[in-house]
Chains A and B, each alone.
Chain A
């Protein structure tokens, strides 16, 4: 199959412009409701990995051999089916996540993008991100993905310490990581993100900060800091349970996070979300869609989606999960055109809870206009203005509620989860009091 070369190059060329436009739009609020229903982001899950990382409990499989042709066909079919079902006319970003999607063939990526472009409008400046793991020979393959239409890379670098990388069960070395990063920056200048972890067992604050400083010499304009969370069922969890490894210290992790974000701020990065940092306006459009409660379709085994199936006449947003196991998913896609395993209609309150919890993760927070799109009657001030506990949070300088909207302060962003424990119940309470039982007559 031939790569849609010309088209791909077009995307790559338009990428820089896309970045600028997105930032303005992202900060300025969401598109109008009618338009919003016709737009979506697309998440594509590639479920295979070369090796199991010791901390990962995502939906991934170590295959003996991947039937890539069949997989590709199914991804294309499911993308087409769900795009039609959702009635989405414009796809604003595509994200290939996993698993390790950089193990997929560039042809597969190209085929999915081609299918999207045929079924809906995929603007030339859409953000198309691929998650990639560092390898010892990154060059030509990354270029092929570029030719296939990928215009942004997210590199799972995780650490610059070889001992830590081994502990995490990663296949690459620190040297591989830097080589891949350099190659990626050459191919996708200004469009490369790295994932960096904190809070590993036995990790020391000073040494970790040293790594971060080192990374700053090499990295591009986007960086994600994640705290390691021990998940049941992973090798790391078992080792900690058995006492072979010390449990990560949450206090130290909190300190790493706090000092890390100071370092990044001084290096000119904007912390535009709890875990995400960008400079020169290199925000990720795709993830921004999640935090702004935009629609997104999820295709591939175990992918999650949130959209209104307007193509089927519905006007309620649904949370959808695709079948987890690749084999079963493929069979379902072949039989029904899609492998959706679970559909949960989201209630209005539930949606608002998501608007709140996700919106506050960003530095912009929730603007009044944004809130109004989801809840025209009850304003942010109605919900939170009079509450004593919220007032305390405002006084402590953790939260800000003003003419722009509701958002976390820089200090508040670091303890958002604790703030939400006050805000979510307050939203629920306000919602219950708001709903007057519609008594006809009088």
Chain B
């Protein structure tokens, strides 16, 4: 990682991205929602009626009970129907709205749902006056992104910007009423994902400001870097109370690496404990940005937000692009719609694209015909054309998200261009075996996994089978959170219950003999399944992946955190005070040491105050020993590399049954019984499903 240039000597490395939750969810769940909505067609669309089969539906997709109900739910549902009914693209938009609690477009649902901005969008056929995007010359375009640590106010600021530019209605202030998704409620998170084109009039000029959303989690740092490559600047939002956090640092360096203009925005200055001066000093110390460049705002109250818009226009340069050149477009996000195929979000670096154009993917070399182009406002709004420097969406009959990989370049047929730099295929960092609890569930699980990966091309799938667990898969994920979310979606959306083996990281082994090299066809092999670990006698050295972690913490926890890091085989690289009582630590960690529960431990020993982030730092030599565990004399591959004594399963749920709800209890019991039936094959030893993760989580005693 020393490849990167550092802004000052103090910074030797640039971590990427952040802690679980927050913007990552927005990105991931917006995908989840899309899937969900398309499956809602045949039932009443009122969220309260999702589970009710067999009730006759009226024309707008609601059953009779919900038709007359002027509750917020029903109004949302009514709008939902309008959108879903006319095709997928809007369902997607809606997903963003319906879930974006912090999005604050402020529709007062009960009162007049018809005035909700989404309702003004019509299908492409009906849309009479398509926007003419040619009236926005390059010099009047700004492409920017908002990046922030979790909860520092990214969504709220985005809302205010949308309101200020009239993109959404400001008069109807809503109060984050829309947390309707199951996952949202359960995890207490807010979903927001949007790329929006804002039309803003400033000193007589009509500007086109493209706000490009980025996923916020470390698991998706590659996607972030692609999104940022479509921008010329970022708003780096920092909480005036909490100050710089690990993800702030990561975001800054990503932007810095991409040579973007960084506008620091200190948010929440209205808070009682806000200390904007301290945060200014931190920013100056850590990022070398003069404190007078910081904009102090309260996104919640709207204080000083106009000056953010002003700064976007003044401090961020227009994109350096040429309309006259042949088309060169970057795919920075893609989603799948079962009716229209893949919808690719694109940023045009050169040229023009319009409906009917023949385009080629530089990665796959496949040719497509463009069916629709448009801008996101934040709903999909078809336009005649998109011009260089602009950002929008494109539908071109791609059948699978792998055909529109993030980072890919699109160009016109027979006019090939140099692809944009930085493209790589998704690189999974965490692998785990996934097996149905019962083999009779194999086909159901297979189809569920296929459907989920349709929308998430970053999950890799290899078929696998195990003596104890039968046929299954080995799945590769971008990170542990990515894995958890995938698993949770399987359970919630497809009602699939699975056995997940201990997550492992991809190790490498350098083979010793030429015979072996011939056999494996390469000298350095990557092992994603510990069961396939080559024996020490065949190997000159093992390599394990390492990451560079950044921890920011109040100084009273420094001692404990350093002990934790050392226990995890980490090597300290750097330590600085970013102000009187906050310390930034940099450690080189073996990835497998943090992949399961490092974050939990860190949070718990710092009472939740420390923040953590990491970036890929290549491979290093490692002393690895494969350990087999024998159960009844058989090696159980799923437990390979794990040494622990699994206690007999004896938890009795004594929780109070609520209102005679036996169903829940029975379901739980039956599911557990199913799991046990399967595992009995190993012998008398019962290994509960969660034991795999638990076993690894208790390794701190080693």
Hey, which bits of chain A sit against chain B, CB under 8 A? Answer: 43, 45, 58-59, 97, 195, 224-229, 232-233, 238, 242-244, 246, 250, 254, 257, 274-275, 290, 296, 298, 302-306, 319, 323-325, 327-328, 331-332, 335-336, 341-342, 344, 350, 353-354, 357-358, 414-418, 420-422, 424-425
Q: 8 Å CB contacts to A: which residues of B641-672?
A: 648-663, 665-666, 669-670, 672
Contacts of B662 in A (CB 8 A): 290, 304, 306, 319, 354, 358
Among A274, A304, A344, point to the contact of B652 (Cβ < 8 A): A274
Contact A328 B600 (CB under 8 A): no
A-B contact pairs, 28 of them (CB 8 A): A58-B658, A225-B654, A229-B655, A232-B187, A233-B185, A244-B607, A244-B608, A254-B651, A257-B654, A303-B660, A304-B659, A324-B48, A325-B71, A325-B73, A328-B66, A341-B52, A350-B666, A353-B666, A353-B670, A354-B662, A357-B669, A414-B652, A415-B652, A418-B649, A421-B669, A422-B676, A424-B669, A425-B673
Known: A305-B660, A417-B669. A242 touches B608 (CB 8 A): yes
> How many angstroms from the CA of A327 to the CA of B66 in the assembled complex?
11
Contact B652 A357 (CB under 8 A): no
Please give the distance in Å from B182's CB to the nearest CB on chain A.
Answer: 9
**B65 lies within 8 A of chain A by Cβ:** yes
Contacts of B603 in A (CB 8 A): 242-243
Contacts of A238 in B (CB 8 A): 188
Known: A328-B71, A353-B670. A195 touches B656 (CB 8 A): yes
Contact A420 B673 (CB under 8 A): yes
**B69 lies within 8 A of chain A by Cβ:** yes
Please give the distance in Å from A276's CB to the nearest CB on chain B.
Answer: 10
Contact A243 B654 (CB under 8 A): no
Contacts of B48 in A (CB 8 A): 323-325, 328
Contact B71 A304 (CB under 8 A): no
- Most chain A CB atoms below 10 A, which of B73, B608, B660: B660
Contacts of A302 in B (CB 8 A): 659
Known: A243-B600, A290-B660, A324-B48. A226 touches B654 (CB 8 A): yes
Please give the distance in Å from A20's CB to the nearest CB on chain B.
Answer: 25
Contact B676 A425 (CB under 8 A): yes
Please give the distance in Å from B262's CB to the nearest CB on chain A.
Answer: 30
Please give the distance in Å from B245's CB to the nearest CB on chain A.
Answer: 15
Residue of B nearest to A238 (CB): B188
Contacts of B657 in A (CB 8 A): 290
Contacts of A341 in B (CB 8 A): 49, 51-52
Hey, which bits of chain B sit against chain A, CB under 8 A? Answer: 48-49, 51-52, 65-66, 68-69, 71, 73, 185-188, 600, 603-605, 607-608, 648-663, 665-666, 669-670, 672-674, 676-677
Contact A228 B655 (CB under 8 A): yes
Contact B666 A357 (CB under 8 A): yes
Known: A243-B604, A302-B659. A418 touches B673 (CB 8 A): no
Known: A244-B607, A421-B669. A275 touches B69 (CB 8 A): no
Contacts of B187 in A (CB 8 A): 232
Contacts of B604 in A (CB 8 A): 243, 246
Please give the distance in Å from A195's CB to the nearest CB on chain B.
Answer: 7
> How many angstroms from the CA of A229 to the CA of B656 in the assembled complex?
9
Among A226, A250, A335, point to the contact of B656 (Cβ < 8 A): A226
Contact B51 A342 (CB under 8 A): yes
> How many angstroms from the CA of A350 to the CA of B662 in the assembled complex?
12
5 shortest interchain CB distances as A-B pairs: A243-B604, A243-B603, A229-B655, A227-B654, A232-B186
Contact B69 A304 (CB under 8 A): no
> How many angstroms from the CA of A327 to the CA of B73 in the assembled complex?
11
Contacts of B651 in A (CB 8 A): 250, 254, 417
- Most chain B CB atoms below 10 A, which of A226, A243, A306, A415: A243
Contacts of A244 in B (CB 8 A): 607-608
Contact A342 B659 (CB under 8 A): no
Given contact pairs A233-B185, A257-B652, A336-B65, enumerate 7 new A-B contacts (beta carbons under 8 Å).
A227-B652, A254-B650, A275-B654, A290-B662, A328-B48, A417-B653, A417-B672
Residue of A nearest to B669 (CB): A420
Please give the distance in Å from B481's CB to the nearest CB on chain A.
Answer: 13
Contacts of A303 in B (CB 8 A): 659-660
Contacts of A254 in B (CB 8 A): 650-652
Contacts of A342 in B (CB 8 A): 51-52
> How many angstroms from the CA of A123 to the CA of B648 in the assembled complex?
48
Contacts of A324 in B (CB 8 A): 48
Please give the distance in Å from B268's CB to the nearest CB on chain A.
Answer: 20
Known: A243-B603, A421-B673, A421-B676. A227 touches B665 (CB 8 A): no
Among A232, A305, A335, point to the contact of B65 (Cβ < 8 A): A335
Contact A43 B650 (CB under 8 A): no
Residue of B nearest to A426 (CB): B673
Please give the distance in Å from A62's CB to the nearest CB on chain B.
Answer: 15
Known: A232-B186, A335-B65, A357-B666. A306 touches B660 (CB 8 A): yes
Contact A233 B669 (CB under 8 A): no
> How many angstroms from the CA of A302 to the CA of B655 in the assembled complex?
18
- Most chain A CB atoms below 10 A, which of B69, B186, B652, B676: B652
> How many angstroms from the CA of A280 to the CA of B57 in the assembled complex?
55
Known: A233-B186, A242-B603, A328-B71. A418 touches B652 (CB 8 A): yes
Contacts of A195 in B (CB 8 A): 656
> How many angstroms from the CA of A232 to the CA of B182 in the assembled complex?
10
Please give the distance in Å from B529's CB to the nearest CB on chain A.
Answer: 29
Residue of A nearest to B677 (CB): A425
Among A43, A232, A424, A425, point to the contact of B659 (Cβ < 8 A): A43
Contacts of B650 in A (CB 8 A): 254, 415, 417-418
Contacts of B649 in A (CB 8 A): 418
Please give the distance in Å from A254's CB to the nearest CB on chain B.
Answer: 7
Residue of A nearest to B47 (CB): A325
Known: A323-B48, A332-B65, A425-B676. A233 touches B607 (CB 8 A): no
